[in-house]
């Protein structure tokens, strides 16, 4: 019997499924799924400090490949795989937590109180690798023939890397002109079939979900964060934060919010660690959105939406989205990674906010760019979306909600080099994207050239591109 199963998060449904099944939603009610464990049967260590000995250890028969990964060295906390040979890993998660002495006073915190979790150090340059290693492990377990995702760039870069590594063909759906060049270049170099859909991220996600569900003949395994296995891997970001803090729980975790997978995974990580008696305290959560892509902020902070034990007010959400549709409002922000108007993990994000006494704030593009430049100037660097976390922490300190002496961890989700255009434009005023668009094009000559394929946002056209 497996140690893990999938379970619907809707308390009025609670349907369960085996881990050998592939679902992008509950087959009974359409809600999101969680991975659950029969913890009684898992050899969970008595303390988180147990995991330290694995760091930099060598396995008995050569280097300990799983211990080399900052996700799988915590494997007892995500034991959904059947055998260790299922695991697809590239040594992700060897990231670090920096005590940002120079930046702390800039955002009103006392020295030694600000910490930056630098997820840009992952192999594909963003936190997504934490989740992708887990989802590919599941994809391999179930014998997936093809994997796909919609993306604002980082998910596609990460998927393409793991697809290349595991030799499972990868397809990425990206909004035409919507992703930063660094990220596009990664998907092409790793050799994924790159469909440039004429639409935004929300349109891409609708389309790829439709294809994964309605066209089983195309054999598409979905890698977006509706895939609950991905979030299992992303829990490890929190384990590493705690490890770097010597297992002392900080006061705040501050994270940018787009599709809301990360904040969902963080809440699950803390809730499980608490249930297992591995931590005594739970930090507070702050989710920061760009003001041009702020559905969680609007729904939670402005309209008072709450988890309510899983019976949240779905009508209020539908009404709000209906208003946006009626006015043809789409998400728009310089932080392209979080340019998302219909976050699929909204319910799980509400659950995390509830469990971690969370708050949601929005910050505008100018504030994001100023904080991005500060993160760079004081010795780290990150992409625009990541800087939203620092900008949000600053705002919360100014509001007085975060005390100057509280210990605050901001998650820097993606590497500075992911979006060179935004950085160059900030510092020089030159819009490289506009320059590139006008530049004459030549036929690519490289033997492995992988050209993006432009596709209208239309089911038949997408199916043709996949056949
Ligand atoms: N930061 C970066 C750098 C991201 O790439 C993303 C999401 C987020 C923050 C938001 O995280 O979705 O878990 O709330 N990028 C996705 C993508 C959507 O397609 O790469 P989230």
The model's pLDDT over 336-375, given as tens digits with 9 standing for 90+, comes to: 999 999 999 999 999 999 999 999 999 999 999 999 999 9
For residue 183, give the nearest of 289, 287, 339 by alpha carbon. Answer: 339
- Name the residue range of residue 279's domain: 96-124+230-420
Atom 10 of ligand 1 has which residue's CA nearest to it?
258
Q: Please give the share of the chain, as a percent, with pLDDT higher than 90.
A: 91
Return the best residue to mutate from 151, 293, 337 for the ligand 1 pocket (most ligand atoms within 8 A of CB). Answer: 337
Give domain status of residue 174, yes or no. Answer: no
* Mean pLDDT (whole number) for 436-444: 87
Bridge-based pairing of strands 408-412 and 252-256 is parallel
Nearest atom in ligand 1 to 383's CA: 3
Q: Is 262 in the pocket of ligand 1 (CB under 6 A)?
A: yes
* Mean pLDDT (whole number) for 258-281: 98
Give domain status of residue 344, yes or no. Answer: yes
- Report the number of distinct structural domains present in the chain: 1
How far is ligand 1, taken at its centre, from the CA of residue 261, in Å? Answer: 8
Predicted local distance difference test score (pLDDT) of residue 140: 96
Give domain status of residue 354, yes or no. Answer: yes
- Where residue 52 falls among pLDDT bands split at 50, 70, 90? confident
Q: Is 413 in the pocket of ligand 1 (CB under 6 A)?
A: yes
Give domain status of residue 287, yes or no. Answer: yes
Give domain status of residue 355, yes or no. Answer: yes
| CA-derived radius of gyration, the chain | 21
Q: Is the pLDDT of residue 424 over 90?
A: yes
Give domain status of residue 446, yes or no. Answer: no
Give domain status of residue 285, yes or no. Answer: yes
Q: Is 339 in the pocket of ligand 1 (CB under 6 A)?
A: no
Give domain status of residue 49, yes or no. Answer: no
Q: What is the CATH number of the domain that holds 281?
A: 3.40.50.1100
Predicted local distance difference test score (pLDDT) of residue 56: 61
HEC-encoded secondary structure of 319-360: HHHHHHHHCCCCCCCCCHHHCCCCCCCHHHHHHHHHHCCCEE
Q: Whole-angstrom Cα distance, residue 355 to residue 284?
A: 9
Neighbouring-strand partners of residue 173: 150, 195
The model's pLDDT over 55-96, given as tens digits with 9 standing for 90+, comes to: 765 555 545 678 889 999 999 999 999 999 899 999 999 999
How far is ligand 1, taken at its centre, from the CA of residue 379, in Å? Answer: 23
Predicted local distance difference test score (pLDDT) of residue 353: 98
* Mean pLDDT (whole number) for 239-256: 98
């Amino acid at each position: 019997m497996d140690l893990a199963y999938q379970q619907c998060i809707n308390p009025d449904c609670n349907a369960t499924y085996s881990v050998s099944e592939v679902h992008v939603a509950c087959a009974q009610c359409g809600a999101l799924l969680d991975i659950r464990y029969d913890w009684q049967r898992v050899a969970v260590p008595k303390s988180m400090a147990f995991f330290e000995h694995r760091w930099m250890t060598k396995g008995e028969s050569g280097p300990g490949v799983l211990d080399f990964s900052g996700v799988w060295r915590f494997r007892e906390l995500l034991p959904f795989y059947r055998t260790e040979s299922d695991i697809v890993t590239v040594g992700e998660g060897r990231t670090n937590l920096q005590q940002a002495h120079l930046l702390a006073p800039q955002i009103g915190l006392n020295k030694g109180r600000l910490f930056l979790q630098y997820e840009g150090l992952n192999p594909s340059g963003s936190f997504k690798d934490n989740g992708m290693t887990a989802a590919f492990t599941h994809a391999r377990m179930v014998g997936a023939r093809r994997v796909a995702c919609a993306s604002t760039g980082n998910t596609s870069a990460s998927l393409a890397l793991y697809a290349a590594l595991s030799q499972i063909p990868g397809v990425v759906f990206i909004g035409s002109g919507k992703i930063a060049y660094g990220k596009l270049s990664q998907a092409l170099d790793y050799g994924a079939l790159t469909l440039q859909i004429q639409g935004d991220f929300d349109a891409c996600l609708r389309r790829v979900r439709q294809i994964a569900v309605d066209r089983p003949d195309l054999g598409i395994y979905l890698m977006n964060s509706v895939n609950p296995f991905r979030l299992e891997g992303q829990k490890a970001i929190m384990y590493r934060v705690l490890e770097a803090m010597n297992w002392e729980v900080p006061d705040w975790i501050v994270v940018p919010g787009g599709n809301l997978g990360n904040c969902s995974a963080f809440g699950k990580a803390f809730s499980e660690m608490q249930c297992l008696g591995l931590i005594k305290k739970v930090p507070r959560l702050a989710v920061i959105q760009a003001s041009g892509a702020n559905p969680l902020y609007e729904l939670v902070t402005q309209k008072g939406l709450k988890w309510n034990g899983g019976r949240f007010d779905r009508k209020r959400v539908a009404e709000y989205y209906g208003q946006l549709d009626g006015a043809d409002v789409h998400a728009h922000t310089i932080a392209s990674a979080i340019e998302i108007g219909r976050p699929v993990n909204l319910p799980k994000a509400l659950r995390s906010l509830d469990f971690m006494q969370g708050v949601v704030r929005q910050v505008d593009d100018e504030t994001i760019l100023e904080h991005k430049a500060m993160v760079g100037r004081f010795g780290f660097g990150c992409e625009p979306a990541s800087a939203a976390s620092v900008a949000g922490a600053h705002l919360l300190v100014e509001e007085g909600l975060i005390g100057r002496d509280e210990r605050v961890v901001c998650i820097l989700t993606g590497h500075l080099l992911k979006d060179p255009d935004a950085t160059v434009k900030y510092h020089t005023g030159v819009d490289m994207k506009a320059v590139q668009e006008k530049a004459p094009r030549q036929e690519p000559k490289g033997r492995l050239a992988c050209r993006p394929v432009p596709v209208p946002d239309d089911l038949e056209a997408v199916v043709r591109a996949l056949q």
